[in-house]
Structure formats: structure tokens, C-alpha cells
Structure 1
Amino acid sequence: MRPKALIVDDEAPARAELRYLLEEVGQVQVVGEATNGEEALLLLGSLDYDLVLLDVRMPGGSGLEVAAALRDRPHPPKVIFTTAYPDHAVDAFDLAAADYLLKPFDVDRLRRALDRALGDGPDGADSPTAHPADPPPAAPDGPRVPASAGSRTPADDRSAGSPVAPLVRIPVQRDGRTVLVDGDSIVYATAARGYSYLKLADERLLVTMSLNELERRLHGHFFRAHRSYLVNLDHVRELVPDFQGSLVVVMDDRQRSRVEVARRHARELRRRFGI
């Protein structure tokens, strides 16, 4: 039996279009529709749904409020947000959304979202198995090696006459506008279910690019420390070894974020810093 799905959207044409796309994909069975958050919660209380496709801005309770209420249930359905507004993506993923679809989207994009929500997606850096919102585990106390001690940083290499990479800017949607984020201001990036978070000095932004795509654009002094993390070597403050021979890098953002380095990448990172 196919998983049972509920469509929640206050606009009838949007519900009809989404139902049509879901029928094209054929992975779920749509057994209910709601026009607002209040109706959605009533329907969700009367039947065990496997999946909810939620609009964000609706009368009678927003999609975010519905998703927050579902988290308190013992076996909540998976949630995919379908909206024309990119501004709520960070809040949606904080509520453990499986995906966040920006209207209009096509059958292929919907199919990928369903694969993630229903557990059929490939395991990888940009899959839901990565948890970018959770900080990496702290390394045990041990000798700390300042990144600048006895080595040259990537910034030193560029100032010494090495070729300077072209300016890279990453587009971020904010309040209906496209803001261009200078690549040099990115402290690190982390995977977020097909999207990515950009960590700046004192804020975190969501971008509609996978971590692999960001890595292709942010070449040069960016380093893939872990399958879920891409760090800017110019913002590394310390290298902290752990007892297993790996490393944790401490970044220079306001929170002094700690990013775990995969063991297979630790030697290359040391080499990049001349350690």
C-alpha cells in the first residue's frame, strides 16, 4: 500500500496542481486536503498520515505552526513544505522538515523530495542523514595547535604573490530580495537536505545549493573537512587533535564553532597548513 499523504494549502489551484504532480510521481496516495492549519490538525488527528505537504502562509494557523504541533506526537508524519516564500526555510528545517520546495517546482524536484521524506533517497552529504543544525562533538582537552604557529596560512600564500582567485558571491534569498554573499565572508558551509547553510561571523543563512555545488563554486581556500562540512581555511583559528588521530578545527566566528575533520582528510589539512 502506498503511503498516505495530506495536502495543506489555502489556494484551490495550488492543491489541484500538487495533487496532479503527486499522481504523476505515483509514490503516495492523496487521501485528504486541508485549506488551513486548523483543518490540517483536525484531519491529522483523525487518520495516521505518512506525509504532509504543507504551505507556509495560510489563515487559521501557518504551516510552521502545524509542523511544530506534529513534533509532539509519538509517530509524526514526514513534512515537506511547498511554498512561494524562501524566507522560512531555516525555520522549516529546524522543525525537522524533510524538504522545502519553492513554487513552482516540477515532477523531478517533487520526486527527489518524496525520496528524501520516505527514505528512498541516496545516502550522501546532502541527504537527510546529515544533521547540520547540530554542532559537531567537542574534542577532548589536549594540546592545541594555533593555525598560524610555524606555518603559513592560505592568506599568507596569496599575499606572497600567488594568483588570487576570482571573486565569488553566493546568492541568498532574503525578504523577497536576492542578497549576494561574498565568498570570503563565509566561515563554513554545512549540508541541509539538498540545500546548504552558510555560517558567517554572526549569522546563519540557507541557500538553495547543495554542498557539492558550493564546493565547486567556492574553490581555492575552501576545504572539504567532512562530507557535511566545507570550511574556509582563512577563518580557521585553531587545530585541535583528538585521541584518535583526527582533528577538530575551531573557527573564528563569534561562536567559535568547532567542525570535526574526517580522519581521511586530517593529513591533507595539516599539509595545507604546513604542519
Structure 2
Amino acid sequence: MSNVFKKGLTCVIADNHAQSRFKIVEQVTNLGFYVVDTPASGDGLIDSVYKFMPDLIITGVLLDRTDGITACEYIKKQGFNSPIIIISRSTLSKHYSAAFELECIDYINLPLPYERFKRAIMRAKKRIEQHKKTLLMEENNIKRIRVKHRYHTIDINENSMIYIEKVDRRKYEICLTEGRVIETSSSLEEIQAACSKSIMRPHRSFLVNLDHIKMVIPDPIIQGNYLIVYPSIVKNIPLTRRNYKQFLYLTRNEFFQAYNSRSIT
């Protein structure tokens, strides 16, 4: 469910100490957030974010099983941009550095100082509202694709998809802009059926977004085939001879690459 359409502001709080968790929940609620879940482990935090898609994540570091920082790193890599506030007893420099890399709103040491926590919540609210305004402005131009991920379904902006690759029998990877990769069990056929004509199948193991293609060259190994080249991500996608005519029809453009002083046409 998109954050744009949710009523009120929601929050997930991950902490494995009941006393501190209760205090954080109480203060967050008083500051205008609705707490949808309170997992005690990093794995639980990940599952909770997929399930509830909260506006704000508040987490400790030393959670059960997976730690809070590792969980948040995974969440960010999957494309979730909810602001993060870390509340922890840890004073290790590596944890502060990791929080900085995650672009956290704040890293607050326990016992929880209310005024600093309140300021962090206010900054989080501003970031959330700015993000929602951006989403609302873009909403009319976005086609969202629903895919399966970790026993849940998530929505992905079609425009952000560069390519989708089948990597195993029931495992597919969606490469997004900025290099993020999302694993899904939705098949190439299911994904393509939900997409616009901008998503085509150049090869049985791939889907590509035509809007992101900048360069096509002849395949140096298989005569008659081509390669879709993505220099920024160092990836070449095979474009078979059988699908080349469809590619030309769908693009209605000519893709040229200086290749031994010849075009690919």
C-alpha cells in the first residue's frame, strides 16, 4: 500500500528491551505517530516494513538475531526510503558511522533525552511530508507494478526498472535505477503482463525497459544477435535475432554504436 494514500503517520519500533520499547512507543504516540508494530529482532523489522510500509522506522542496534543496522541496510537496498531514527545504548564508532551512511535522522543514546528525540521526530515529519509531496506530483505519471517479495507483495515504479533477469527456477532480480536490486518470485510473464509496452523481452531470461536503453551493439560471438549495453552498471543484455525486429518496432528509433565504423542496422 502506497504511503501516499495512508491516513496519518505510521511507525515501526524495533527494540528487544520491553522497558525502553514501552517508553519509546509512548513518546512517539504523543508526538503524532501511530505505532503499527514493535518487533524485537532485525528479521522481524524487515518483515514488518514489508507488511506495513511505515512512514518512520525507529530501531535499536543490538536486536535479536539480525542487528538493527544490518536490517536497515537491507531495507534501504530494497528501495524503501522511510526515514530512520536509531536509539541505542551502543557508543561504538562503527555504529555511528553506519547510521551516517544510512542517512539516519539521528542516532540517540539511551537513556532517551526527550527534547532531542522530539527534534528528531519533527525532522522526520518534515522529510516524510516532502517525500509525500514529491510522490503526489509524480503520481499521475507513474505506473506501479505489483510483484511478490518475501511472502508479501510490493509496488514498484515501472519507470525505475532497468531490467529483470531470471537467475534461478523461481528467482528473479529486478535491477532498479541507482543500482538497487529487488528479488522476486513473480515470473517474467507475470511482470510483463502488468507492464506497459516499454517493457519487452529481448531474450527468454530477461525483460528490459526500453526507456533506459542507450546503446545496442552486434554480439561479437553469436552472429545475427545483439547486445543491449548498460555502461553505468556494467551489464550487457542479449537481444536475439528473433526479437530484434520487435525491438526496432517498439522503439521506433535507431540505436547506433560506433562498432568498426558501422551501424547495427
TM-score range, shorter chain: 0.3 to 0.5
Structure number with higher helix proportion: 2
TM-score normalised to the size of structure 2?
0.43
TM-score by length of 1: 0.41
